[in-house]
Amino acid sequence: MKVRIFEGLFLCSLFFVVRGDAQGPDKTEKPVWTLEFIKVKPENFGPAMGYLDDHWMRVRAEAKGQGAVLDYHRIQNAVLLTPGHKVGDSSSIVLLTEYKSLDAFKECQRLFDSMRERPRWQMGGVIKPWAPEDLFEMLNTQIFVEESDTSTGLKLLTKQ
């Protein structure tokens, strides 16, 4: 099931990635993509989406404003139902982030952490502050670099 989900999302990600330049960037400046696969815990879909909006999306939006992140997407895996057949998993989410280079990717975790420490990022008050491990399970993370000489245009750097 995970393989099908990954294959479908990988094909979708190619639509975001496909670009052409007369002169390609040098190796250190090629964009890097991360695909983070998460599975929402039962009865936590709403809070998980709220957490992703308040945290994951916000830090990437600010990093995009600073130029470290080129683009980001949150994709919920829809369920396709046909008579006697079910494809997909509504509790699966893929988080895609495109960084401008490998160096930007390496520096972004520190940038994300520094953003979360700022007072305006702190949650409190009426809404219960959720920890991500209460809401979803991180299944795996895959990191790709754009490579024009491969059949897919992407080369897998690491899988965690």
Share of the chain above pLDDT 70, in %: 68
In this prediction, residue 15 has a pLDDT band, given cuts at 50, 70 and 90, of very low
CATH code for position 109: 3.30.70.100
In a domain, 24, yes or no: no
In a domain, 126, yes or no: yes
74: pLDDT strictly greater than 90? yes
Quick one: pLDDT band at residue 34, thresholds 50, 70, 90?
Answer: very high
pLDDT, averaged across the chain? 76
In a domain, residue 48? The reply is yes
- Report how many domains make up the chain: 1
17 within domain boundaries:
no
Angle at 137 between CA 81 and CA 67, to 5 degrees: 100
Q: Tell me the sheet residues that pair with 68.
A: none
Beta strand extents in the chain (DSSP E only): 32-40, 69-76, 80-82, 85-87, 92-99, 136-146, 154-159
- C-alpha distances out from residue 143 to 19, 31, 97, Å: 19, 11, 10
Domain range holding 101? Answer: 2-10+29-149
Mean pLDDT over residues 83-106, rounded?
84
Is the pTM higher than 0.85? Answer: no
Going by C-alpha positions, the residue among 57, 130, 144 that lies closest to residue 93 is 57
Q: Is the pLDDT of residue 138 over 60?
A: yes
Beta bridge partners of 152: none
**Residue 21 resides in a domain:** no
* Residue 33 falls inside a structural domain: yes
Is residue 23 classed as helix, strand or coil in its secondary structure?
A: coil
Each residue of 39-63: pLDDT tens digit? 999 889 889 998 899 889 988 998 8
SS3 for 144? Answer: strand
Q: Please report whether residue 41 resides in a domain.
A: yes
Residue 39: closest CA among 97, 89, 96, 79: 89
